[in-house]
Chains A and B, each alone.
Chain A
Amino acid sequence: MTDRISPTFATCREQGRAALVCFITGGDPTPNDTGAMLDALVAGGADLIELGMPFTDPMADGPAIQKANLRSLGAGTTTADILEIAASFRQRHPQVPLILMGYANPMIRRGSDWFADVAKNAGVDGVICVDIPTEEDGELGPALREAGLHFIRLATPTTDKARLPAVLQGSSGFLYYVSVAGITGKQQAAQASIEEAVAHLKSGTDLPVAVGFGVRTPEQAAAIGKVADGVVVGSAIVDIIGEHGANAAPHVREYVASLRTALGAEEVA
């Protein structure tokens, strides 16, 4: 497979900084606007992109991303739209890793093989599925791996030593550490607990570890960037889109650039 994920983390490491991973919900505020938002993420200095697939029942998300899901679905966003957004992103940005993130049901609706296939063809590099833990890997994992896509798993504060190997089994790309036991966009974890957790995860895997949930300010990003391979920011960007709607792109770009600067901006495009 043409792997874009590990070279990206490697480049960032060479530059002595953490990778900036940015999330937005696909189709928010409309499918037509998403391309410009994604371009703004890249222009601001995002290294990897997580493109959320909207779902009616985003059980692991806080108010910000819940509203983004509603805006997107309200605008009529379909799975076909998301795939088209991904494919055109890939044409404009051949090197930037693109990850689809979402819930199981929209991914498996037409069969996991179908989903893996179309995602691959759209130029997607990996998939994060909130509600498919290791125990249900069979629902999606084999199809993704068969298609050459990374299945990126989540580790959480409740993932203890005994459980970590199970979480790592069959996961690739990077490991996403959800730093708080809770939903997206709420409180932030204490820095000390993040450091301890990253060390614990690193003792079990060579995969890069990206830390997310509750990261809002450049200062928080910088602090986490000192101990993790990547910093994930989602709700804060989604809030900007919520506030400015179709005109959000320049604001998104500016905000993302502030994060990137805080992480150590070698060369923002």
Chain B
Amino acid sequence: MTIQNSLRTQPDEQGHFGQFGGRYVAETLMPLILDLEKEYRKAKQDPAFEEEFQYLLRQYVGRPNPLYYAQRLTEELGGAKIYLKREELNHTGAHKINNCIGQILLAKRMGKTRIIAETGAGQHGVATATVAALFNIPCTIFMGALDVERQQPNVFRMKLLGAEVRAVESGARTLKDAMNEALRDWVANVHDTFYIIGTVAGPHPYPELVRDFQSVIGKETREQILEAEGRLPDSIIACVGGGSNAIGMFHPFLDDPEVEIIGVEAAGYGLETGQHAASIAGGFPGVLHGNKTFLLQDEDGQITEAHSISAGLDYPGIGPEHAWLHEIGRVRYEPVTDDEALAAFQKLCKLEGIIPALESSHALAAVEKIAPTMGKDKIIVVNLSGRGDKDIFTVAKALGVEI
């Protein structure tokens, strides 16, 4: 494939992925995100920046993490060989930390003295609080009041790490509202504050830089599968909330047409119930939180509430690069319901001795559907984006168990 035809050169100079992406922000923020873009371009050229990033990924996060052949799961499903990319073994238990390391290095470079972030389940909040502690920068995490109630262990973790957790009472009091509130804080504190966005959303250059930091997942996977199997996988699969673990896995494979790529959206109680978080399957293009993408919305453009059993997928939008990859047909997006994810969660616990995050369980559920349809000579890689310790209360409740 020639460079001109590469799918890996997005976005364009305006931050657009086809019709998606862009910089839909209040004028107050424009100079700031232009500045961030400039600084990011410089950092990308700076070997010292890359060196520090790699050092921290290795010594602090614990990378590279393994690409593990899940033999018992493979045998149980009776089809393609299944490999798990073990992001759940990272420090803090998910892929989120990769991005936080990159962004805090940018914040430091830009001389910012305060960090803010939004969080849903608290995973990104914990990862942000972690790097803020490491770099000794004060940090405020915005979290919907409802999520604060639902995710007490992570709230306490963030506080232990020295972060201030602000419960957001506006709107439906979940992730979307936390992001609104973080943006409100940011416009009021533009001069000293760096906003660490937790997924491949927000205004340009966020979707690009978060993807670049998360691409370590796909790069490692590529090397590891070549070493293990001597060839690329037939399919790669990841769950999609905003889409950062997925794009990090997918991006290094976009120009390999022989690799089928599947993103898994949360279908909640089922697409037909309207209570889901599948922006591509059930949404339309629109503008929210700084970018144009597929959004759950009504006919007047009012954003509708998402639902998923997994708080990390419970967002009414999707990163703009995914919207574009869907539109050009390079990536297929499949819905998986709460119940399917719960079943896959339990299966991995029993077969492999790994408790997966409920988010990642959506990807595992898709594997369960696809693997049996493929021959034993085929290879699937699934991104195990996080560990499920945080989810045991939710799962217990769903299974009617009291703990």
Contacts and interface: CB of A to CB of B under 8 A. Distances in A.
Contacts of A106: 300-302
A108 B32 contact: no
A109 B289 contact: no
Interface residues of A, number: 46
Contact of B300 (A66, A109, A133): A109
A136 B24 contact: yes
B95 interface: no
Nearest to B305: A56
A199 to B, nearest CB: 19
A186 interface: yes
Contacts of B117: none
Given A55-B302, A105-B295, A158-B190, A163 B24 contact: no
12 contacts: A55-B301, A55-B302, A60-B184, A62-B184, A79-B301, A105-B288, A105-B295, A105-B297, A153-B27, A158-B29, A159-B27, A159-B31
Contacts of B303: 56-57, 105
B356 interface: no
Given A66-B170, A73-B302, A131 B31 contact: no
Interface string B10-24: 000010000000111
A250 interface: no
B183 A59 contact: yes
Given A59-B26, A158-B27, A181 B187 contact: yes
B29 to A, nearest CB: 8
Contacts of A94: none
Interface in B302-319: 302-303
B375 to A, nearest CB: 45
A133 B291 CA distance: 12
Interface string A137-175: 001000000000000011111111001000100000000
B23 A56 contact: no
Main secondary structure of the interface of B (DSSP, over half): mixed
A131 B300 contact: no
A157 B28 contact: yes
A105 B30 contact: no
Given A59-B180, A158-B27, A105 B286 contact: yes
B171 A133 contact: no
Contacts of A157: 28
Nearest to B28: A156
A135 B22 contact: yes
Contacts of B302: 55-56, 73, 105-106
B188 A182 contact: yes
Max count, chain B CB within 10 A of own CB: residue among A108, A110, A136, A178: A136
Given A105-B287, A105-B288, A131-B26, A181 B188 contact: yes
B299 interface: yes
A56 B183 contact: no
B176 interface: yes
Contacts of A133: 23-27, 30
B290 interface: yes
Main secondary structure of the interface of A (DSSP, over half): loop
Contacts of B290: 131
A136 to B, nearest CB: 5
Contacts of A236: none
Nearest to B299: A109
Contact of B301 (A108, A130, A158, A181): A108
Interface residues of B, number: 36
A182 B188 CA distance: 4
A70 B32 CA distance: 29
A245 to B, nearest CB: 20
A158 B171 CA distance: 28
Contact of A154 (B22, B26, B190, B295): B26
A247 B325 CA distance: 52
A78 interface: yes
A246 interface: no
Contact of B287 (A131, A160, A163, A180): A131
Interface of A: 55-63, 66, 70, 73, 78-79, 103-110, 130-136, 139, 153-160, 163, 167, 178, 180-183, 186
Contact of A181 (B14, B176, B190, B288): B190
Interface in B234-289: 286-289
Contacts of A57: 171, 176-177, 180, 288-289, 303
Nearest 10 pairs between A and B by C-beta? A109-B301, A182-B188, A106-B301, A105-B301, A104-B287, A156-B28, A56-B303, A79-B300, A158-B31, A131-B24
Max count, chain B CB within 10 A of own CB: residue among A57, A108, A186: A57
Contacts of A73: 302
A182 B26 contact: no
Contact of B25 (A131, A139, A178, A180): A131
A59 B297 contact: no
A78 to B, nearest CB: 5
Contacts of A66: 170
Nearest to B285: A108
A66 B191 CA distance: 25
Given A79-B300, A182-B187, A156 B27 contact: yes
Contacts of A134: 30
A183 B188 contact: yes
Contact of B27 (A58, A104, A178): A178
Contacts of B297: 105, 109
B31 A135 contact: no
A266 B191 CA distance: 42
Contacts of B300: 78-79, 106, 109
A107 B297 CA distance: 13
Contacts of B23: 133, 135-136
B133 to A, nearest CB: 28
A256 to B, nearest CB: 26
